[in-house]
Amino acid sequence: MSDEFASRYEPGQSLEVEHTPLHSNARDVHTEDPFDFEIIAHRLRTITEEQSEKLREVSGSPIVTEVNDFNIAITDERGDAVSISPYILTHAGVIDLMVKWTLEHRDGNPGINPGDMFICNDPWVGALHQNDAAVLAPVFHEGELFAWTTTTLHQVDLGGSDPGGFSINADDVYDEPEPTPPMKIVDRGEIRADIEDLFRRRSREPELFELDLRAQVAANNTAKDRISELIEQYDAETVKGVMRGVLDRAESKLRDRVSSLPDGTWWQTGYQEGNKRDDRGVYAASLELEKRDDELRFTVGGDPQTGMINSTYSGLRGGIMNTVLPLLCHDIPWALGGLYRVLTIDAEEGTIPNATFPGAVSGASINAAWLVRDLANIAIAELLDASDDQADRLLAGCTGSWPSVIMHGTQNGEPFVNGVFDPQAGGWGARVNGDGIDTAGIISTPKGRIANVETNELTMPVLFMFRREMTDSGGPGEFRGGLGGEAAWVPHGTDEEIAYLLSTFGQFLPQSMGVSGGYPGSPSGYQLLTDTDIQDRLARGELPDRDTVLDLGTQNTVGPKETISQSHSDVFYVYWPGGGGYGDPLDRDLDRVLQDVESGAVSPSAAKHRYGVIIDGDDVDVDATEQRRATLREQRTTVEAEPPETVTTADATTTREFGHNLETRDGVVHCGRCDTGITNATAESLKPSMAISRRSAAELWIGDADGPDADPQIVEYACPECGVLFGVEVSISDEPISGPR
């Protein structure tokens, strides 16, 4: 196996580029002309916006136009991204790897020339997974390679054993869509018919490939023209100087932000269920965030790579950058080339999040890379939570998993492959002072959107029985996680069965985690209700409501990776996660709970069990609620906690800070509520000294006999004295799986 695409690709510090002349002269524009600097920087950002609109309007793919699963980046001559568009951030987070790889391996042979473009979907080069095809266009100025403009979009189908590309039966990459290292798809301005045909030949939707390729080429051409105009108006050294300056500025601003946060280490473990079809195992991945001075170091590991749930290094790296951007860089240019200088990413080779060739990775975007994003989301949220003045910048876990729905069959006599992308509309995590946003989207997609039900019904042979925000899906907390959603449909307008290819995780172990005592948001998953009388009911003129529909026929839970088919009498049901909560749900304002019950966001039963709030008619029974909350708090304290570690004199000066409801004083962490000393602030883990209660996860969410070969548990960590909740884990381990250390 050639090493250039066997495992993590690490570009050399100085790229070895012999044949392609690189333009590297740059003026110090910011010092010499701070105003021109801003003008040019603004123009570069506008160019990516223009390019995005063009791509989106021309693309034929619902994944691009309805779901916005694409991105655009402009990089300097060496591939460091200066400007990206606000669509799927993960794509932009890996573009530098692909450009650098192209520079190192396509230099001279076949050569990088003006008017060329390269297409790449190789996850060991830099693609997130094989369906994300990037088209990389070098921009030349007077014979020198000045910059790159790139577009990445999710192709509906690029071949492989399963339609839609998430090959849930794969043992290795040979069962999957073929990874293609950078190939010259446009040669001096002309699309190469041979390379285009190579991709069309593999695809089950060749026309869509063709349309989307043209969208990418057109968008790149727009950006190339704009960059050339910019150089024309100023000069190459000035524009390059601004690119360099924007990268430096992004780096320096992120360093300032990181410096202003407390030092410490936070780690987080998460799980995926099922490594491929019919598998019942549970597989862990973990992430440790170490913050020292102005640096962030991420260390990612996990179980050995297995089945089809892996990601390559590019996916884990994109997943991390994905959370760094919105949580730490809201007011910093998203010039990733500069931001990456602040991050160090270590990852163990051969693990699920960092699989080596020929691991199966076609599902990386919705499996390991997604999970790494969840873990980074919480690690950064806990880092922010430990800060005095920046905790209000955190979001608890957002849309922790995605139940992918790829559908294929026959429509109007023609074969089709399509997907229902509605599960993108997960809930965002709660904030320290407000609830999470309901059906908000994926944290990686500032401008995400889902299709109308009518559009789904126009493009797929189905009839939706409902599409709703899901009651109790938001993670309980003092501030609630945003709601996730649910939808169900029956076949309509087709005589044949509809085949499904399904892949998710977070089904028994939900992964939108809460922060500082907030509970996780709900799981994701599917059910197939078979042998229902739904068609008869419709024919009788009856339109059943949600609860009635879900009670029909035989309810079959579908495993996390599954292929099924739906007949006319079957109802297909999918549900997707809410966001994690923040703070102890027993501290939630009574009016908020009441409002949630009135609007259907929270059921009366969850109000009682999770929030300790008793609703009587249209009002809260305040006395009963106080009693109920006291009982629940007390229950948490009845378990034995380990005696606290003793405090040494040296520890007494520690300034180590933890989240909400915990205070460090004289070397001891105290409960912020009752002031009880919990343990030594320098203790390896605080959790053993807290009151720990465990219960089966099935108690909270869909209980299922057909669950994984493990015992998913909800683990609560509370103050041994007053019972205020400090943290909640979803775990299969007897030991803590997260926290500061």
Q: What residues from 620 to 679 belong to the interface with another protein (CB under 8 A)?
A: none
- 455 is a site residue for another protein (CB under 8 A): yes
Please state the closest distance from residue 128 (CB atom) to another protein, in A.
21
Question: Order of strands, edge to edge, in the sheet holding 264-273?
Answer: 343-347, 295-302, 282-292, 264-273, 738-740
- Is residue 409 helix, strand or coil? strand
- 617 is a site residue for another protein (CB under 8 A): no
Among 380, 450, 574, 632, binds another protein (CB under 8 A): 450
Q: What residues from 496 to 515 belong to the interface with another protein (CB under 8 A)?
A: none
Say how far residue 639 (Cα) sits from the centre of its chain: 36
Stretch of 92-100, 346-354, 540-548, 714-722 lying at the interface with another protein (CB under 8 A): 540-548
From the DSSP assignment, how many helices (H) and strands (E) are in the chain? Answer: 17, 29
Q: Using omega within 30 degrees of 0 as the cis cutoff, is the peptide bond preceding 206 cis?
A: no
Residue 262 β-bridge partners: none
Among 358, 446, 553, 672, binds another protein (CB under 8 A): 446
Q: What residues from 322 to 341 belong to the interface with another protein (CB under 8 A)?
A: 325-327, 329-331, 334
Token output for 608:
């009682």
Please state the closest distance from residue 449 (CB atom) to another protein, in A.
5
Please state the closest distance from residue 49 (CB atom) to another protein, in A.
6
- 207 is a site residue for another protein (CB under 8 A): yes
Among 112, 139, 395, 730, binds another protein (CB under 8 A): 395
Residues that contact another protein, how many (by CB under 8 A): 93
Stretch of 268-276, 350-358, 372-380, 485-493 lying at the interface with another protein (CB under 8 A): 485-493
Contact between 324 and 343 under an 8 Å Cβ cutoff? The reply is: yes
Among 106, 317, 408, 467, binds another protein (CB under 8 A): 467
Q: Identify which of residues 205 and 729 has a Cβ nearer to another protein in the complex.
A: 205
Please state the closest distance from residue 58 (CB atom) to another protein, in A.
5
Q: Identify which of residues 80 and 176 has a Cβ nearer to another protein in the complex.
A: 80
Residue from 47, 646, 669 nearest 386 by CA: 669
Q: What residues from 548 to 577 belong to the interface with another protein (CB under 8 A)?
A: 549
Among 425, 509, 662, 724, binds another protein (CB under 8 A): 425
Among 16, 142, 392, 684, binds another protein (CB under 8 A): 392
Long-range contacts of 196-204 (CB under 8 A, 24+ apart): 199/119, 199/133, 199/158, 202/158, 202/159, 202/177, 202/178, 203/155, 203/156, 203/157, 203/158, 203/159, 204/157, 204/159, 204/163, 204/408, 204/415, 204/417
Among 178, 187, 457, 651, binds another protein (CB under 8 A): 457
Residue from 528, 537, 532 nearest 555 by CA: 528
Q: Name the H helices within 234-282.
A: 236-259
- Contacts with 173 (C-beta within 8 Å, 6 or more apart), sequence order: 179, 357, 358, 359, 360, 361, 362
Q: What residues from 216 to 255 belong to the interface with another protein (CB under 8 A)?
A: 217-218, 221-222, 226, 249, 252-253
**346, 352, 358, 361: CA torsion to nearest 10:** -110
Q: Identify which of residues 222 and 625 has a Cβ nearer to another protein in the complex.
A: 222
Among 291, 393, 408, 588, binds another protein (CB under 8 A): 393
Question: Order of strands, edge to edge, in the sheet holding 144-154?
Answer: 81-84, 70-76, 144-154, 132-141, 117-120, 183-187, 190-191
Token output for 103:
């520079």
Q: Identify which of residues 84 and 686 has a Cβ nearer to another protein in the complex.
A: 84
Write each residue from 672 to 711 as x if it is in contact with another protein (CB under 8 A), else as -, in one continuous string. ----------------------------------------
Please state the closest distance from residue 440 (CB atom) to another protein, in A.
6
Stretch of 141-149, 203-211, 606-614, 703-711 lying at the interface with another protein (CB under 8 A): 203-211
Token output for 387:
């800060």
Please state the closest distance from residue 258 (CB atom) to another protein, in A.
13
Among 22, 26, 453, 710, binds another protein (CB under 8 A): 453
Please state the closest distance from residue 110 (CB atom) to another protein, in A.
21
Dihedral sign (CA 337, 66, 372, 101): negative
Write each residue from 92 to 131 as x if it is in contact with another protein (CB under 8 A), else as -, in one continuous string. ----------------------------------------
Please state the closest distance from residue 102 (CB atom) to another protein, in A.
21
Q: What residues from 142 to 201 belong to the interface with another protein (CB under 8 A)?
A: 191
End-to-end C-alpha distance for the chain, whole angstroms: 40
Q: Identify which of residues 62 and 270 has a Cβ nearer to another protein in the complex.
A: 62
Q: What residues from 21 to 80 belong to the interface with another protein (CB under 8 A)?
A: 30, 34-36, 38-39, 42-43, 45-46, 49-50, 53-54, 56-62, 65-66
What stretch of H or E contains 145? strand 144-154
Task: Tell me which residue has tokens 């969850």.
Answer: 606
Stretch of 2-10, 91-99, 136-144, 209-217 lying at the interface with another protein (CB under 8 A): 209-217
CA distance 408 to 423: 18
- 493 is a site residue for another protein (CB under 8 A): yes
Residue from 9, 325, 20, 267 nearest 148 by CA: 20
Among 15, 22, 198, 538, binds another protein (CB under 8 A): 538
CA distance 322 to 423: 19
Say how far residue 492 (Cα) sits from the centre of its chain: 32
CA distance 78 to 97: 10
